[in-house]
Amino acid sequence: MPASTKFVVTGGAGFIGSTLVRRLLRLGPVAVIDNLLTGRERNLEEVRGQIEFHNTDIRDAKAVAPLIAGADTVFHLAAIPSVPRSIDDPEPSHEVNIDGTFNVFRAAAQGGVRRIVYAASSSAYGDTPTLPKTESMTPAPKSPYAAQKLMGEYYASVFYSCFGIETVSLRFFNVYGPRQDPSSPYSGVLSLFMKHLLNRTTPTIFGDGEQTRDFTYVEDVAGLCYKASQAPGVAGKMYNAGNGGRYSLNFIWDLLQKIEGVRIAPNYGPPRPGDVRDSMADTASAKAELGHAPRFSIEEGLKRTLEWYRQTI
């Protein structure tokens, strides 16, 4: 790879994007596009001086195009995340996750970018009972967010077949780790669990807590994003980016209490609309074709994450 190879990370101030930025900086210049809606500049603190940072909204096609043109790889992670947020307020998530994604892909195709790696979502599988979820299954989105992320995958594949730009979609499975923002009711459940654990306050679990997720440590996801940008013969394809296990919320909350040596009984509330019951990735294709090799067990990932929150909260 030439020394001047440039990476663009949309959503680079988010917790996944900022982890990826740190990894990419070892390999070439990095530009971040982020409007700081859910991202935070402090997520880039010690690397801020080494990157090009653009406070730009991907809904603004004209502003985005020149920032992307001429890059080698675009990692498209910018999105308005959260299933419930997309139900409570569907317009912004539609505009960012579909129109914004189109703008990024269009800018990349017209700007001569070699490859796009797109952050898709495991929510596309919906509530089908079969586990693990394999890439060949028919999607069944249950929420606007899931439908939007699925549309991005379809666009990724069509941008390859119609416009010739290499694209790879990675379906992220409930990513967690340092720098995940616990300050919103729409925050990922593990960031909320961490905050409650350290503050000794009571978390709310929606439903019976026996729903399961393939919680995936952020470093493993960032590693896979880079691998997906380099692997040969994968253009136009979609892969699961999970860890390959699944854990219930009750199990995780128990484990966190054991690690911390406290007992705090959770509140149980009604199940959340749009929620999927169980989720677990079949990682065989990502391992065989992209070299996916998740390194972090749930225990190790939770311990590392908890230590980060302890220093920060």
Smaller CB separation from ligand UD1, 123 or 285: 123
Identify whether the C-beta of residue 224 lies closer than 8 Å to the C-beta of residue 293: no
213 binds ligand UD1 (CB under 6 A): yes
Position among 7, 105, 172, 217 found at the interface with ligand UD1 (CB under 6 A): 172
Strand residues in the chain grouped as ranges (E): 7-10, 30-33, 52-54, 73-76, 115-121, 166-172, 175-176, 204-206, 212-213, 216-217, 237-241, 247-248, 267-269
Position among 204, 210, 258, 297 found at the interface with ligand UD1 (CB under 6 A): 204
Smaller CB separation from ligand UD1, 277 or 295: 277
Q: Minimum CB separation from ligand UD1 for residue 268, in Å?
A: 9
205 binds ligand UD1 (CB under 6 A): yes
Stretch that binds ligand UD1, among 39-47, 116-124, 225-233, 283-291 (CB under 6 A): 116-124
247 binds ligand UD1 (CB under 6 A): no
Position among 48, 59, 114, 272 found at the interface with ligand UD1 (CB under 6 A): 272
Q: Which of 234, 213, 236 is nearest to 291 (CA)?
A: 234
Contacting residues for 221 by C-beta, under 8 A, at least 6 apart: 16, 19, 170, 172, 175, 241
Coil, strand, or helix at residue 216?
A: strand
Coil, strand, or helix at residue 103?
A: helix
Position among 20, 117, 192, 286 found at the interface with ligand UD1 (CB under 6 A): 192
Residue that the structure tokens 């043109």 belong to = 69
Long-range contacts of 257-261 (CB under 8 A, 24+ apart): 257/197, 259/302, 259/303, 259/306, 260/197, 260/198, 260/306
Q: Minimum CB separation from ligand UD1 for residue 149, in Å?
A: 8
Length of the chain: 313
Position among 151, 189, 235, 298 found at the interface with ligand UD1 (CB under 6 A): 189
Position among 249, 252, 298, 302 found at the interface with ligand UD1 (CB under 6 A): 249
Smaller CB separation from ligand UD1, 97 or 165: 97
Q: Minimum CB separation from ligand UD1 for residue 253, in Å?
A: 9
Rounded CA-CA distance 150/148 in Å is 5
Q: Minimum CB separation from ligand UD1 for residue 126, in Å?
A: 8
251 binds ligand UD1 (CB under 6 A): no
Q: Is the dihedral of CA 225, 230, 232, 234 positive or negative?
A: positive
Rounded CA-CA distance 76/228 in Å is 12
Rounded CA-CA distance 170/194 in Å is 26
Rounded CA-CA distance 247/143 in Å is 22
Smaller CB separation from ligand UD1, 31 or 150: 150
252 binds ligand UD1 (CB under 6 A): no
Smaller CB separation from ligand UD1, 203 or 223: 203
Enzyme catalytic residues: 145
Q: Rule CB under 6 A: which residues touch ligand UD1?
A: 81-83, 121-123, 172-174, 188-189, 192, 204-206, 211, 213, 249, 272, 275-276, 279
